[in-house]
Structure 1
Amino acid sequence: MPTNSRIPGLRDHTPQERLALVAEAAGLEQDALAALQPAGGLSLAQADHMIENVVGTISIPVGIATNFTIDGVDRLIPMASEEPSVVAAASNAARMARVHGGFRTSHSGDIMIAQIQVLDAVDPEATRLRLLEARDELLALANEQDPVLVRFGGGAQDVSVRVLPTDRGTQVIVHLHVDVRDAMGANAVNTMAEALAPRVAEIAGARTLLRILTNKAERRLARARAVFDAELLGGAQVVDDIVAASAFATADPYRAATHNKGIMNGITAVVLATGNDTRAVESGCHSHAVRDGRYSALSSFEKDADGNLVGTLEVPLAVGLVGGATRAHPTAQAAVRLLGVQTARELAAAIAAVGLAQNLAACRALAAEGIQRGHMTLHARTIAASAGATVEEIGAVAARIVAERRIRVEDAQEVLAELRAVGDRA
């Protein structure tokens, strides 16, 4: 059955009950999501095959963001994060967009770029043209390295060449444009660049040095937009204030850094949950934020003719469903299955939508009530646990420190001691 991303009251259940409800809403057997449970996740033996010198694993909470409709399809979104309020905020923002059709997305394509650095070219401009004249030969050589990718409709598509002045002399930089389809693509493009380097050096009459992909994935952009209901946001003044806050982030790099961090709270959580490369995605997004020569906001908010808030986001997302930890990590496999995406583009669409939702939630909190109120209320449970409260005590301690607005570990320890003293007397 189709996924229903509306699960009212999900937070009121235990983790095991939530898992059952989520599986039912996604039309899956509960066993299909068993890897999301600690006992069914990554084993030490599996981890030992993923990286070197393995001694253990680390667990990160995985929450499910609800209410998302993306391109007309309901999706439950797995998010891996240690930060309180992130999952709740994304779910709430998605609810405000849902009444206007949810999120609409588009994608620029699946092109990744490999760079080959050429040093000591005697005639850089002529070298550039010689390399472009050899375009078809270079593409054919690149595609010989990955016939499977070519068979699936991908492979090397184009060659471009830049003459780059540097403080160590003029360099010639070859860009190989590769359609990587449903893979993240690093291994494919790096293999092709390595194979091309000797022929590039021969044509250039020079030597090559670096030959590796760039994480500035400007040919792999994901875009998301949504209309957030003015009434649900809190009224016309909140809409105007979010627009003003958005303008601040666009104009000021100091504000943009934190504005974009809010976006990445959502993006990184989904990228991590699905076993993709968080560092590559973060690098690409932040490089895109400075594409015009000044660090700026990745998103924008405007008011439409009906007074509602329109949010838009464009980010490079080099993510895949083929290879890497996405295939090797059982929890990532379960997360992808829950998400229900079939292609890398669908995955990127979901990630972009969550990034926009997360950003809207942060901007609304700042404009309407200040970031600390909601965030610290949810953070209180973590504070209570840090103070030594048991599972049975956490709720009472958290409620008390929130009510008294004393949300620090030492305050939680004091409250915990008081509650235990009362319990002992009883």
Structure 2
Amino acid sequence: MNEMKNSSYSGFYKLSPEERLAEAAEFCGLSEEDKAVISSGNSLDMDKADHMIENVIGRFTLPMAVGLNFTINGKDYLIPMVSEEPSVVAAASNAAKMARENGGFYTSNTGAIMIAQIQLIDIPDPNFAKIKIYENKSKIIEICNEKDPTLVKFGGGMEDLEVRVIDTLQGKMVIVHLKVNTLDAMGANAVNTMAEAVAPFLEEITGGKAYLRILSNLAVHRLARARTVIKKETLGGEEIVDKIVTAYAFAAADPFRAATHNKGIMNGIIPVVLATGNDTRAIESGAHAYASISGKYTSLTTWEKNADGDLVGTIELPMAVGLVGGATKIHPTAQVAVKMLGVKSATELGEIIAAVGLAQNMAAIKALATEGIQRGHMSLHARNLATVAGAKGEVMEEIVKKMVSEKNVRLEYAQELLKEYENRK
């Protein structure tokens, strides 16, 4: 990706889809073949689809868009986003535009450590067994890493372990966590294979029975973080900063609000996860579990006012995404989406996704704290209804404007307005 490229566009929405694709292709260095993959609904052919999941009968296409204006760690990005929800891409782009005025987003990560859990039951002396397992750490690491020499060759593999004794409805259980550096893979297959391989040895040294052997999606050692500072002038004054911080305080305190607040974050995150062929359910479950890790469900972001009166925001959440394996390597459009981002590692991809989540959240709480969420939604809903009614081009714009200004956004009214326009002609 060209470092000098600028992801800030004016009037991008006015371009046709073909013109937008041409702009994105130039920015991201895409070939004619890449462009054809994105624009065709048939890029995923039936044979590939049939090998991705079971009982395939067809393909289901969603719109693919680009998030604009993003500057992350001093580099500009166009963000590929796949979603069915109106207003999400526009909101993320708008928030990124506000953030870029002060340097954009800055990110970090904790590396790519995934956890595999092994459940040991029927152990009469669980605390004694726990210490025994720790004594055998080097042997456990050896057994696990024999299972994936390729991962080890590239600098990954099992690095550490943690043993917990937990109380359950069926008595105490010993839970072993294998901590595995999965590098650029999401890592589910790698860690599950290691858990299976080491289970008999753990049974041998504890006298217990190994039951479940599976990764955890609560990837607390695979966190992505992002931060941003948005000038009070950009937002329209310190009063708006205060309103946003007050809206955040509500989400931080109340799980009923936090659920919707975090859903707004995932509105930005999931479209990028989906576009790059990653596992949306793994990211959702990890995010919401992490939001509850204190024992109370709360916000994944924080919003504060700094000493200058500017808005400062942060996000931290598990981000188990990969660049190798899974749909990322099978789905042609997912491969082009990864190419568009120009990322070199899974952790870099995770950081970008976290920054998009932070932008999306800022856009949502700013709208809620100022004009309310319906205004933007109403305009997009009106556009959808005008399209269903059969309106196009300038006529559509006229109908949308009238419906929004009159706060009468209904399909019947869109049809009525279209009929009126046709009669005038």
Q: How does 1:157-306 map to 2 (within 5 A)?
A: 157-306=159-308
The one-letter amino acid paired with 1:74 is: D
For the 8 Å contact 2:185–2:325, the answer to whether it is kept is yes
Q: In the superposition, relative to structure 1, how do residues 392 and 44 fare at CA in structure 2: closer, same or farther (>3 Å)?
A: farther
Q: Please tell me the root mean square deviation across aligned C-alpha atoms, in Å.
A: 1.5
TM-score (norm 1): 0.96
Whole-Å separation in 2 of the counterparts to 1:376 and 1:393:
18
The one-letter amino acid paired with 2:412 is: E
The one-letter amino acid paired with 1:49 is: H
For the 8 Å contact 1:117–1:172, the answer to whether it is kept is yes
The one-letter amino acid paired with 1:283 is: S
Whole-Å separation in 1 of the counterparts to 2:391 and 2:11:
25
Bigger Cα displacement from structure 2, 170-179 vs 396-405: 396-405
The one-letter amino acid paired with 2:183 is: R
Q: How does 1:20-169 map to 2 (within 5 A)?
A: 20-39=22-41, 41-169=43-171
Bigger Cα displacement from structure 2, 19-28 vs 270-279: 19-28
Residue 328 of structure 2 corresponds to which residue in structure 1?
326
Give the drift of 1:387.
3.9
2:348 to 346, 363, 368: 346
Give the drift of 1:382.
1.7
Bigger Cα displacement from structure 2, 251-260 vs 40-49: 40-49
The one-letter amino acid paired with 1:99 is: E
Identity %: 57
The one-letter amino acid paired with 2:294 is: D
The number of equivalent residue pairs is 423
Q: In the superposition, relative to structure 1, how do residues 396 and 57 fare at CA in structure 2: closer, same or farther (>3 Å)?
A: farther
Whole-Å separation in 1 of the counterparts to 2:348 and 2:333:
19
1:371 to 370, 373, 376: 373
The one-letter amino acid paired with 1:202 is: E
Bigger Cα displacement from structure 2, 18-27 vs 334-343: 18-27
Give the drift of 1:304.
1.6
Whole-Å separation in 1 of the counterparts to 2:32 and 2:71:
22
For the 8 Å contact 1:273–1:335, the answer to whether it is kept is yes
Whole-Å separation in 2 of the counterparts to 1:67 and 1:174:
44
Give the drift of 1:417.
3.5
Give the drift of 1:389.
4.3
Give the drift of 1:390.
5.8
Give the drift of 1:379.
2.5
For the 8 Å contact 2:109–2:222, the answer to whether it is kept is yes
Whole-Å separation in 1 of the counterparts to 2:281 and 2:148:
25
Structure 2 unpaired stretches of 5+: none
Whole-Å separation in 2 of the counterparts to 1:388 and 1:69:
38
Whole-Å separation in 1 of the counterparts to 2:171 and 2:414:
61
Q: In the superposition, relative to structure 1, how do residues 169 and 317 fare at CA in structure 2: closer, same or farther (>3 Å)?
A: same
Runs of at least 4 residues of structure 1 off by over 6 A? none
Give the drift of 1:48.
0.6
For the 8 Å contact 2:29–2:340, the answer to whether it is kept is no
Q: In the superposition, relative to structure 1, how do residues 288 and 39 fare at CA in structure 2: closer, same or farther (>3 Å)?
A: closer
Whole-Å separation in 2 of the counterparts to 1:60 and 1:319:
21
For the 8 Å contact 1:128–1:172, the answer to whether it is kept is yes
For the 8 Å contact 1:119–1:209, the answer to whether it is kept is yes
| CA shift digits 1:226-277 (9 cap, x unpaired) | 0112222121111110011111111111111111111000011110111100
Give the drift of 1:202.
1.4
Bigger Cα displacement from structure 2, 400-409 vs 313-322: 400-409
The one-letter amino acid paired with 1:278 is: T
Give the drift of 1:203.
1.4
| CA shift digits 1:78-131 (9 cap, x unpaired) | 111111111111111111111111100010111000000111112111111111
Give the drift of 1:45.
1.6
Whole-Å separation in 2 of the counterparts to 1:228 and 1:159:
41
Give the drift of 1:411.
2.6
For the 8 Å contact 2:82–2:271, the answer to whether it is kept is yes
1:19 to 21, 31, 51: 21
TM-score (norm 2): 0.96
Give the drift of 1:396.
4.0
Whole-Å separation in 1 of the counterparts to 2:297 and 2:160:
29
Secondary structure (helix, strand or coil) at the match of 1:49 reads: helix
Give the drift of 1:416.
3.1
The one-letter amino acid paired with 1:358 is: Q
Give the drift of 1:30.
4.2
Bigger Cα displacement from structure 2, 365-374 vs 377-386: 377-386
For the 8 Å contact 1:34–1:40, the answer to whether it is kept is no
The one-letter amino acid paired with 1:372 is: Q
| CA shift digits 1:331-379 (9 cap, x unpaired) | 1111111111111111011100000000000011011110000122122
| CA shift digits 1:194-219 (9 cap, x unpaired) | 11111111112121111000000111
